[in-house]
Structure 1
Amino acid sequence: MHCPFCRYTDSRVIDSRTTDDGTAIRRRRQCPECNRRFTTLETSSLSVIKRSGAGEPFSRAKVLSGVRKACQGRPVTEDDLALLAQRVEESIRGQGNAEIEAHEVGMAVLEPLRELDEVAYLRFASVYQAWGSLEDFEGAIAVLRAERDAVGQEPPIRETKLHSQQ
């Protein structure tokens, strides 16, 4: 690392720590030539390749925006959304690729969103996977119910009340 003060070609790392939810490394450095200290922030770049073939930097805010629409009117907090976006980014970065298809970003959203809120999951999946018929929704709901039954999970309280009133 070049010293920003004297342009010497080497520096010594004094301290390193992660920052920005683990997506960056902050290093405190010292130049052996002029003894001045400076800080560097190291991040790995991650590009999303869109359907058109164009690339753009990964944006956690863009993930949040799409998921927020699916969660509108649902009992999901901003903290829940932030945690979900962090999980998605960690999952994508964990693959170790510098580029990822936009489709894979959407796939990475589905599982954490399903765990967070099933209705929001269905909303997001219906748009993302371009469901075109009632059968697509029925199939996804059947899968969710089968998974819930397999683990012996009770339906949410409001769903139980609705079924008992009919």
Structure 2
Amino acid sequence: MKTVIALFDTAADAKYAHDALLLRKYDRSDISVVANDLATLHEAPPHAGQIAAGALSAILGSVAFSVPYAGPVLAAGPLLGALGSVGSEEIDQPDWLAKALVKIGVPEPEARKYSDAFNQGGAVVTVRTREIDADNVARLLAACGAVDVDERLRPESRQRPTG
């Protein structure tokens, strides 16, 4: 099994990707979402089309909680279980998400990049899949609006798009 990870600008974009994965019959228990811009869940991304219609109000099976470095956070899927095993004292650290990502199979250097990008805003989606399907999942997430995490971490790219 392999864990595919993607960064999205908004929770709404991540929800769109989540729904697209479900439509393609990926198992809900293999999909994780963590987002900290919860206000966007009520906005449909412009490319969402019919998938997002009426579906952005919440991610089923998700839990909302507060993290000092990220504010209100919504998490769902295997990542939520990993967050439970990270421990409350570690949740207070800026790399709390990286620790949880490592626990679900994301290599540590990659987990740190996504954690840093998440702390700047946006949402992270992970999908646990068979090795043979990993490229297809990555292409689907890209088609759903995933952003380049390396580009996002460049100092000149730290301002989020305004529309």
Please give the range of the TM-score, normalised by the shorter of the 2 chains: under 0.3
Structure with larger RCO (C-alpha < 8 A, sep 6+): 2
Query: When the two structures are superposed, what TM-score results if normalisation uses the length of structure 2?
Result: 0.26
Query: When the two structures are superposed, what TM-score results if normalisation uses the length of structure 1?
Result: 0.26
